[in-house]
C-alpha cells in the first residue's frame, strides 16, 4: 500500500520549483496565483533567493506547499494511486489537498495566514526551539516538566530526534538538562517563535476562525493528522485537529508507525528535499521510501511504475 508524505520546514532551497513551472497549464496557474498573493515576490524568492529571505517562515511555508501541490497534481494526472497521506507540520496542508479535503486556493490562503502568524509570533511572545539528539522522548518530556518554564516536546521526528519548544530561557535550561542526562547533541533551531507550543495560543486563536469558515469536504482517503496520529476523513474531525495543530506536538513517529500498521509499505515523499525520506527509514526501516521533489525525480518515479 502506498502513502504520500509531505515535508515541512527545513526542506526549502534556493531554486526550488523552477523546474516545475512548465509542467503544464495547471502548474503554471497555481504558481502564478501564489505569486500574486505575495505581490509578485514568492516565485523570485523561491527561484533566486536570497536564502535568508526564503528561510523566513512566511516564505518557506507557501514555497514548500506550492511545490508539493504541483507535484501531487502531476502524480494524480498520471494515475498514481495512494491510499493514505500525512504531512509534517505545514506539510499537513499539502496532505489535505492531496486527499481532496479542500481546494487549492482556500488552502493556500489558510497557509499564508498561518505562515504570517507563525513568522510574527515571536514579536508577541518570544520563543525558541532546539533539537535534542540521542535522548528518549519521554525522558525529555520529564525534563521539560521539571524546568518550571513553558517548554514542551514540539516534534517527535524520529527515534532519538526530538525538538523542544517554549520560552528561550526554558529551552536553554532543558537543553543543558538533556546534555547532563546523556543527549548526544543539542542544536538550536533557527525559527521566529516557539512553534507547536502554548506560546502560539494567540496565533492559533487568530487562525481558528479561518479554518472553521473554510469549505471543507470529507477526505477521499484517510489523512493521519499531526495532533492525534489518527487517520481522519470526516471534515469536522479534520478541522478540529487542524485548529489545535500549531500549539500541539507533531506526533510524527506515531503517525508513520500508524500508517505502517494500516498496511502502508511504500512512502512517497512529495515535495522539495529528502528530509522525510531519511526520517521514515529510521522509523520503519523495512519500508520502501522514494523522494519526488524535482522534475527529474518525478520523471524517474513515473518511468518505474
Q: Which residues are catalytic?
A: 89, 196
Using the predicted structure, report yes or no on whether residue 70 has a pLDDT greater than 90.
yes
Average pLDDT in the 145-159 region? 96
Per-residue confidence band for 31, with pLDDT thresholds at 50, 70 and 90 = very high
Residues 110-131 have pLDDT tens digits of: 999 999 999 999 888 999 999 9
Q: How far is CA 305 from the centre of its chain?
A: 27
Counting Cα atoms < 13 Å in the Cβ hemisphere of 151 gives 28
36's CB contacts (< 8 A; 6+ apart) are: none
Residue 303 in contact with residue 297, Cβ under 8 Å?
no
Using the predicted structure, report yes or no on whether residue 40 has a pLDDT greater than 90.
yes
pLDDT of residue 257: 98
CA distance 68 to 272: 7
CATH architecture entry for 127-189: 2-Layer Sandwich (3.30)
Q: Comparing C-alpha atoms, which of 54, 111, 59 is closest to residue 246?
A: 111
Using the predicted structure, report yes or no on whether residue 305 has a pLDDT greater than 90.
no
3-state secondary structure of 9: coil
pLDDT of residue 167: 97
CA distance 12 to 49: 11
The dihedrals phi and psi of 24, each to the nearest 5 degrees, come to: 155, 170
CA distance 68 to 94: 6
CA distance 11 to 118: 17
Per-residue confidence band for 192, with pLDDT thresholds at 50, 70 and 90 = confident
C-alpha cell at 210: 479561518
C-alpha cell at 68: 508539493
pLDDT of residue 294: 96
pLDDT of residue 57: 95
3-state secondary structure of 80: coil
Q: For 2-121+198-303, which CATH superfamily applies?
A: Malonyl-Coenzyme A Acyl Carrier Protein, domain 2 (3.40.366.10)
Using the predicted structure, report yes or no on whether residue 179 has a pLDDT greater than 90.
yes
**pTM here?**
0.96
Average pLDDT in the 147-156 region? 96
Domains of the chain, by residue range, sit at: 2-121+198-303, 127-189
CA distance 206 to 204: 5
Return the DSSP state at 223: E
Using the predicted structure, report yes or no on whether residue 248 has a pLDDT greater than 90.
yes
Average pLDDT over the chain reads 97
Amino acid at each position: 500500500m502506498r502513502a504520500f508524505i509531505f515535508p515541512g520546514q527545513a526542506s526549502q532551497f534556493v531554486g526550488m520549483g523552477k523546474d516545475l513551472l512548465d509542467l503544464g497549464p495547471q502548474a503554471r496557474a497555481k504558481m502564478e496565483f501564489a505569486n500574486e498573493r505575495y505581490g509578485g515576490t514568492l516565485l523570485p524568492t523561491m527561484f533566486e533567493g536570497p536564502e535568508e529571505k526564503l528561510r523566513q517562515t512566511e516564505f518557506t511555508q507557501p514555497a514548500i506547499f506550492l511545490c508539493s501541490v504541483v507535484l501531487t497534481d502531476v502524480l494524480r494526472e498520471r494515475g498514481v494511486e495512494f491510499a493514505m497521506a500525512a504531512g509534517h507540520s505545514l506539510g499537513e496542508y499539502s496532505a489535505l489537498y492531496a486527499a481532496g479535503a479542500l481546494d487549492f486556493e482556500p488552502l493556500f490562503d489558510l497557509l499564508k495566514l498561518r505562515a504570517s502568524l507563525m513568522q510574527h509570533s515571536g514579536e508577541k511572545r518570544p520563543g525558541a526551539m532546539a533539537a535534542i539528539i540521542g535522548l528518549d522522548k519521554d525522558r525529555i518530556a520529564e525534563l521539560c516538566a521539571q524546568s518550571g518554564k513553558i517548554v514542551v516536546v514540539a516534534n517527535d521526528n524520529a527515534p532519538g530526534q526530538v525538538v523542544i519548544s517554549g520560552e528561550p530561557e526554558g529551552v536553554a535550561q532543558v537543553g543543558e538538562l538533556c546534555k547532563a542526562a546523556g543527549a548526544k547533541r543539542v542544536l538550536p533551531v533557527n525559527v521566529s517563535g516557539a512553534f507547536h507550543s502554548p506560546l502560539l495560543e494567540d496565533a492559533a486563536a487568530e487562525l481558528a476562525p479561518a479554518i472553521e469558515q473554510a469549505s471543507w469536504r470529507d477526505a477521499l482517503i484517510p489523512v493521519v493528522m499531526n495532533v492525534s496520529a489518527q487517520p481522519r476523513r470526516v471534515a469536522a474531525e479534520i478541522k478540529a485537529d487542524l485548529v489545535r495543530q500549531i500549539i500541539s506536538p507533531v506526533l510524527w513517529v506515531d503517525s508513520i508507525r500508524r500508517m505502517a500498521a494500516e498496511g502502508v509499505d511504500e512512502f512517497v515523499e512529495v515535495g522539495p528535499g529528502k528530509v522525510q525520506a531519511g526520517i521514515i527509514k529510521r522509523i520503519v526501516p523495512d519500508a520502501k521510501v522514494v523522494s519526488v521533489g524535482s522534475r527529474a525525480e518525478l520523471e524517474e518515479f513515473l518511468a518505474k511504475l
